[in-house]
Structures are given as C-alpha cells and as structure tokens.
Amino acid sequence: MSTPTGHQPARFVGYQHFAQMLADPVFRTVMRNNLLYAGVTIPASVTIALLMALMVNAHLPGKALARMAFFTPTVLPLVAAANVWLFFYTPGYGLLDRWLHLLGMPGRNWLGEPGSALWAVAVVSIWKQAGLFMVFYLAALQNIPQHLVDAARLEGASSWQIFVRVTLPLVGPTTLFVLINAVVGAFSLVDILFVLTNGGPDNASNLLLYYVYQNAFQYWDTGYAAALSVVLIVILGLASLAQFVGLGRHTHYQ
C-alpha cells in the first residue's frame, strides 16, 4: 500500500515497494550490515555463554560471584547498557582511549568511523546477550545426569571427550532454543543503535529493523516500511525453519 496522507488515501501499489528495495542502495547496505552483524554476534554470544556456563557450573571457588558478574549485564536495560558503553567509546577521554593512551597508542572514534562502528555495536550486543544465554545453558548442564559423566570417566574418557560426546549432545535442545533467540535478536536490534550511532556514520551501522523505524517514523514512508517488515519476517521465519530442520534432526530430547 502507498503511504496515506491527509489529502490522499492509501492505495494498492502491487510489488512497487519490493522493486524499490532492489534499487535501494541503503537497503543493500543495511542487509549486508545485518548479515555481518548476525554472523559475528550469534556464534560469539552462544559460544561465550556456553563457556561461562561451564565455568560457573564447575566446582571452583568464587563461582557465585562469577555468576553474578556474568548475569549482571542481562538485568540492565538496553538503553542503560548502551550508555555505559557510550562512555567507553567516547573519543579522547573514554575508557578504551585511555587504555590506548597508556600503551602509547593513538585513540580513535570507535562509533564515528565506518570501519569500526558496526563492530562496536556488536561488542555491546554480545556483552548483553551472553549472560542471558548462560542461564539457559547452566540449567541444561545441571540437568545432565551425573551417572553418564561418571560412566564416561570410568571408560577412560578425557574431559574433552566427555564434553564432545556427552555434554554437547545433551544440551542440544538448549542450543537450538538459544540459537533461535540469537537470530531473532540479531535482526531486531533498535535500542542500542538509538543511543550509540543512529545507524551511522553513513549507514555503516544501520540494521534492518532500525531502517524500518527510519522509514516509518522519520521519513513517514509507511508503505515502504511495511514492505521492509515483510522481508524481515520472512528472513526470521526461514532462519528458524532452517534451524529446526537442520539442527532438529541432531537434537536429542531424551
């Protein structure tokens, strides 16, 4: 549908908005950004979450403090977390630049340079999501029957073999759940972009859902925003289906 105005009602325009996407260089940039962002944040956050869960599930001193430290970013509102990292990334007197200056290295504008803006946003997202995913993995690890681990040790299995042959298969359902949530999160980021970059510089950190917001509420092109939303829903649906079909075959629930 075309965007209605005070003098012109909405009208059906067929596939015009989807043809507009193919010719839209910003859309291509946004899609490339989102695929790169997803390709980095999803495996990184899931892997870090599993490692943190293994750490806090082990019989180590101070694991209660470690659990609290790992989970703290999750309870922070996204806007508050983004503001914390905004201080870290601030050129000149931010924490990262201070460290670089102590090492005798020049600082940089982490959020203002096209080459680093997207990755700076990705770091914040990984830091925010990993603690949440850790909780799911920790619950899965604590539900693994101890007699299976003991039996593997009696057979002479190493710690790595136990992890690969026992732990990973038994946390498979949790991994599938976490991956689906990570994919949805990778294509639905808005809050952090509001605070850190507003999609800039020159759309270097712009992502698909934020581009939907821009078209709907900044440019008032609601028709194009609706078409972009359809593309977003299709991407999420296909990604979830692929995970269920691909990983579901290798996932054991009992």
CATH number reported for the structural domain that contains residue 45 in this entry? 1.10.3720.10
- pLDDT score of 6: 47
Mean per-residue pLDDT, 168-173: 88
On the CB side of 94, how many CA atoms lie within 13 Å of its CA? 17
pLDDT tens digit string along 113-170? 999 999 999 999 999 999 999 999 999 999 988 888 888 888 888 888 989 888 888 8
Q: Give the sign of the dihedral formed by CA 225, CA 227, CA 232, CA 233.
A: positive
Domain count, the chain: 1
- Give the residue from 231, 251, 254, 223 showing the smallest Cα distance to 17: 223
The answer to whether position 188 is within a domain reads: yes
Tell me if 86 sits within 8 A of 96, measured CB to CB.
no
pLDDT tens digit string along 4-48? 554 555 655 667 878 888 889 999 999 999 999 999 999 999 999
User: Two tokens at 178?
Assistant: 């976490």
Tell me if 227 sits within 8 A of 117, measured CB to CB.
no
The answer to whether position 2 is within a domain reads: no
The answer to whether position 9 is within a domain reads: no
The answer to whether position 86 is within a domain reads: yes
Phi, psi of 149 (to 5 degrees): -65, -45
Burial degree of 240 (CB within 10 A; 0-12, 13-18, 19+): middle
Average pLDDT over the chain reads 86
pLDDT tens digit string along 44-83? 999 999 999 999 888 778 778 888 888 888 888 888 888 8
197: left (phi over 0), alpha (psi -120 to 50) or beta: alpha
The answer to whether position 24 is within a domain reads: yes
- Give the residue from 56, 54, 51 showing the smallest Cα distance to 67: 56
Range of the domain at 134: 16-248
- pLDDT score of 10: 61
Burial 33-72 (b: 16+ CB within 10 A, else e): bbeebbebbbebbbebbbebbeebbeeeeeeeeebeebbe
DSSP 3-state of 108: coil
The answer to whether position 4 is within a domain reads: no
Quickly tell me which residue has 């925003």 as its tokens: 225
Burial degree of 30 (CB within 10 A; 0-12, 13-18, 19+): buried
CB atoms within 10 A of CB 11: 10
Q: Would the pLDDT of 233 be above 90?
A: yes
User: Two tokens at 197?
Assistant: 């970059």
Q: Give the sign of the dihedral formed by CA 20, CA 23, CA 25, CA 28.
A: positive
Tell me if 143 sits within 8 A of 171, measured CB to CB.
no
CA dist 238 → 44, 211, 233 (Å): 21, 20, 9
The answer to whether position 184 is within a domain reads: yes
Q: Which amino acid is at 160?
A: W
DSSP 3-state of 22: helix
The answer to whether position 213 is within a domain reads: yes
